[in-house]
Amino acid sequence: MSVIQQGVSIVQRALRAVGSHDGWLAGLLLMAGWLALPSLGIAAEGTTAGPTEYRDIPYVGSRNLVWIVAQLHLLLAGFVLGVPMFAWLCEVIAWRGGEKRYDKLAKEFTKLLTSAYSTTALFGGILLFLLVAFYPKLMNYLTDVFFPSFLLYCFLFLLETATLYLYWYGWDAMQDGRKKTLHVFLGFLLNFFALFIMIIPNAWATFQSSPVVIADGTAFERAWAATWNPTWWPINIHRLIANVVLGGYICGAYAGVRYLSVKSPEEREHYDWMGYVGNFIGVFGLLALPFAGYWLMREIYQYNQQMGITLMGGFLSWLFILQAMLIGVLFLGSNYYFWLGITYRIPGSEGKYRRAMLMMLVSLLLCLAVWMTPHSLVASIEEAQKMGGAHHPLLGVLGVMSAKMTVSNLMILITFMSFVMYWRAGKQDTAGWAKLAKAVMGAVLVLASIAVIVLGVWGYFVPAIVRINYFSTSQVLIVIFVILTITPLTALLLKSAKTTTEMVWGSMPPRAGYSLVLNAIMVILLMTLMGYARSSSRVHWHVYGVMRDTSPYAYSPALGSASFIMAFCTFSFCLIVAFIFWVATMGDKYKAAPGPGKGELPHGIPAMAGGAPEERSQR
Amino acid sequence: MGALGKPIILMVAMYAFLKFGLPNIPGSAPLPSSLIFLYLLLTAGGIFMFKTLSGESKDAFWDPIRRFLTGENIGGLQALRYGVFILFPLLVGWQTYGSTAVSDLPPTESRTIHPAPPGEYTGLSNPVPKTPENIMQGKGFYAAYCSPCHGGNFDGKGPAARGFIPAPANFADPTTIAMLQESYLFWRIKKGGVGLPIEGAPWKSAMPRWEVELPDEWIWKIILGEYDGAHQSPRTWE
């Protein structure tokens, strides 16, 4: 407007200057000035508005759309990075141990990768378009910082895609001798590239939370400084383990669904076994996940007190109670599956282990009760008056990290012992030193549990830094020590053990299948919950402390509305994964169907993702 | 009803313990209903899991429920069955009404006790050296300005404490100031209840805004005195 006013005053001055001359000249000038006014207005719009910072879409809102697409992309990425690890591990077990069923399992899951990979890339592309369209200023800034890593990322994508094609389409062709070695190496390369494909975008995301900005230096130096930010490696490790957990539990859920639907005994056996393997891998990752999460939170707290408090003590702290609930259900579900396995797969074991299972269940529930007890309780005004505030005078002590760390370590120990119990069930020790070994294992377990509890209680009476740096770390080391001591001892014992009851696969009840599905849903919900927590911890910043969010969405959504989006993302992801499984196994069902079918079609089954190798092998 | 007897007794016993037993332990207080519900849910979940571990225990657990609901061979329990069919929907309706009807009671609150401090207060270190003199001086200031509410023993039980809901913070409790950095206390003392950010809603703090009466140096000294008097240490990263 000021430019328009300036223009008007110029015209007025001109009018005054020519006021003494002929009227036609004045009229001409007046007309020229009037005609010039719109052009001044247009110029003013151009100069004051500047480049577009944000765009929006009606009804859904740009933030919600980006949130959903980003979350789905992340979940799919977790899936396509977790499954190759899982598949490669199974292939290596089959390669070294000679058990062909592991190779079949690995192949069955690799089959999913081609369609899953393209779906992930598709969501990645949609996310990129949405980010560029909705947040041009932010994307421009991030491109300035990370341009060299964008190029590297693209290059890695090419390598990963080529390796995946070779790995999958070469499966049958590379089955024997040196070719198999090459195939296993390709599987390693696939995971190697996948690791870097994960950690490069992690740098972009963690930079937004804990930026390291240097003004000087080359583009590469600035990108490297921004990449190596304080939360980069904690996130890398946390996500790497979480991907293993996701891959394992989704494998379990797939097996669970198939187990519930198949009819033939052979298929029931196969999917029962697959469910066991999936649950085992999920639990294997789950045991390490709380340690990685604790390290991440510690780094966040140390990086910025404000962000740490927002997450752990501020308005996001309720998310961690929800998190405890979900992790608790996951631990319970995984143990329940182990216990069902003992009861149903190893006939006659129930009576022997029922008491132990009860003790473990009660211990898990007690631990979970502690983990889920908030520091500040949800209470009515009357209840708060009776308690003398929001903290319960007796149970309030359970609401802080010392208690939470203690019970999470104990739950890990219990779950590990559940697995050991399952491992030992149906076998009788024959080694002469078995009694001594069992006494040592029992003593290690009891002493470790006592030590974890003592450190947890002691943690209340020492400065926070002593608790965080020494006590919590010691608790973790104690648990790792137990796992590393008991696992080889049990393996040695079982080497010479006599099998008294053979494992009967395919005899699990339907609820075992449902528990596998429940576990997978818990993991997905957990990832959506923590995705919200990580993103919301930046509060009103795009890049924490560097670039402020000035859009109308610069507020943290309430937990209720956030839960809606989380549930929507979980549901959508389950649908997408179900679609991928359906597409990938379409060919199998067709081939398995008796009677005429394939032969009637001139070109066999359509070339669905994953169908090619079998197709080729049958020709 | 044999296999159902134990679970029912266990649930009732757990409820009785949480409602009447635990609050009567010395130093305890009644539990809010949200916590009781949480613990009962865990108990019920545990019972369900244990009872369904084997085919026999599952059948022994479910069969009486199934028979009761279908009315199959339950003899004299028919009247009770109809009673449950009538009462259960009424109970659900009453619960729904109770949770949605307009009430004159204030809503249940999930107050954020420790909202995040503003950026300018993060990472500040205490500029006052931790010397015996400064600590003594801090305790003196504490006695004058803070102890009426937070107590001479730093336990939140000062003479004026009874007038406040929620009660003033108990610094001797290892879950309060021991969890926080000194800069956090500096912000809370300086800005008081009125300085709480949006996430601190519903802003239930009667803490005065001490910056209008005390210089910064005194506040830092009070912090030294508080930690020393409560036998706690601030959170640090070294």
Q: Which residue is listed with tokens 């899951």? A: A109
DSSP state of A467: I
Judging contacts by C-beta atoms under 8 Å, the chain B residues touching residue A378 are: 32, 34, 108-110
CA atoms within 13 A on the CB side of B76: 0
Could you say which of B106, B116, B167 has the minimum Cβ distance to residue A306?
Answer: B116
Residue B96 sits in the same domain as residue B123: no
Q: Identify whether residues B19 and B95 lie together within a single domain.
A: yes
Closest CA of chain A from B84, distance in Å: 28
The verdict on B91 and B8 lying in the same domain is yes
Chain A CB contacts of B31 below 8 Å: 392, 395
In a domain, B108, yes or no: no
- Same domain for B62 and B140, yes or no, is no
Chain A window 547-566: which residues touch B at a Cβ cutoff of 8 Å?
Answer: 556
pLDDT over 70 at A595, yes or no = no
Beta bridge partners of A167: none
Q: What is the pLDDT of residue A188?
A: 96
CB contact under 8 A, A317 and B27: no
For chain B, the DSSP string reads -HHHHHHHHHHHHHHHIIIIIGGGSTT--PPPHHHHHHHHHHHHHHHHHHHTSSHHHHHHHHHHHHHHHHTTT-GGGHHHHHHHHHHHHHHHHHHHHHHHS--SSPPPB---SSPPPPGGGTT----S---HHHHHHHHHHIIIIIHHHH-TTSSS--TTGGG-SSPPP-TTSTTSGGGS-HHHHHHHHHHTGGG--GGGTT-------GGGTS-HHHHHHHHHHHHHHTT-------
Cβ contact B111–A390 (<8 Å): yes
Residues B157 and B202 in one domain: yes
Please indicate whether, in this complex, the C-beta atoms of B49 and A336 are within 8 angstroms of each other.
yes
What are B73-103's pLDDT values in tens digits?
888 889 999 999 999 999 999 999 988 888 8
pLDDT of residue A19: 47
Which residue out of B25, B54, B198 would a mutagenesis test of the A interface target, given it has the greatest number of A Cβ atoms within 10 Å?
B54
Domain end point (choices B31, B66, B100):
B100
A460 CB within 8 Å of a chain B CB: yes
Query: Helix (H, G, I), strand (E, B), or coil: what is residue A542?
Result: strand
- Determine, yes or no, domain membership for B146: yes
Check residue B138 and give its pLDDT. 96
Check: CB of residue A55 under 8 Å from CB of residue A133. Answer: yes
Same structural domain, B157 and B66: no
Q: Is the pLDDT of residue A14 over 60?
A: no
Q: What is the mean pLDDT of residues A200-206?
A: 95
Residues B60 and B126 in one domain: no
Has residue B172 been placed in a domain? yes
Axis-axis angle for helices A317-345, A401-424 (nearest 10)? 10
Structure tokens at B27: 């130093």
Q: Which among B100, B129, B152 is the end of a domain? A: B100
Residue B27: which domain range? 2-100
Residue B221 domain flag: yes
Provide the β-strand partners of residue B109. Answer: A379
Residue B183 with chain A: CB contacts under 8 Å: 305
Distance CA A415, CA A420 (A): 9
Give Cβ neighbours of residue A234 (< 8 Å, ≥ 6 apart): A292, A295, A296, A299, A300
pLDDT at residue A598, as a whole number: 45
Mean pLDDT of chain B: 89
pLDDT of residue B117: 84
Question: Does A465 contact B237 at a Cβ distance shorter than 8 Å?
Answer: yes
Residues B76 and B132 in one domain: no
The answer to whether the CB atoms of B199 and A310 lie below 8 A apart is yes
CB A508 within 8 A of CB A259: yes
A453 and A404 in contact (C-beta within 8 Å)?
Answer: no
Residue A43 has pLDDT above 80, yes or no: no
Check which CATH number belongs to the domain holding B190 and give it.
1.10.760.10
pLDDT tens digit sequence for A549-591 = 999 999 888 888 999 999 999 999 999 999 988 888 777 766 6
| Cross-chain residue pair A396–B30, CB shorter than 8 Å | no
Is residue B113 situated within a structural domain? no
| Any B CB within 8 A of A509 CB | yes
Please answer yes or no on whether A372 and B111 come within 8 Å at the CB atom.
no
Task: For residue B212, tell me if it sits in a domain.
Answer: yes
pLDDT in tens, A354-400: 999 999 999 999 999 999 998 888 888 788 888 877 788 888 889 88
Q: How many domains does chain B have?
A: 2
Range among A113-117, A504-508, B112-116, B232-236 rated most confident: A504-508
Same domain, B16 and B69: yes
* Predicted TM-score (pTM) of this structure: 0.83
Judging contacts by C-beta atoms under 8 Å, the chain A residues touching residue B235 are 463-465
Residue A348 has pLDDT above 50, yes or no: yes
Nearest-neighbour CA in chain A from B1: distance (Å): 21
* Residue where a domain terminates, one of B37, B66, B100: B100
Pair (B75, B148) in one structural domain = no
Is A63 an 8 Å CB contact of chain B? Answer: no
pLDDT tens per residue, range B122-133 = 778 899 999 999
Q: How confident is the model at residue A619 (pLDDT cuts 50, 70, 90)?
A: very low
Least Cα separation, residue B98 to chain A (angstroms): 14
A276-295 pLDDT, tens digit per residue, is: 999 999 998 888 888 898 88
User: Are both B124 and B183 inside the same structural domain?
Assistant: yes
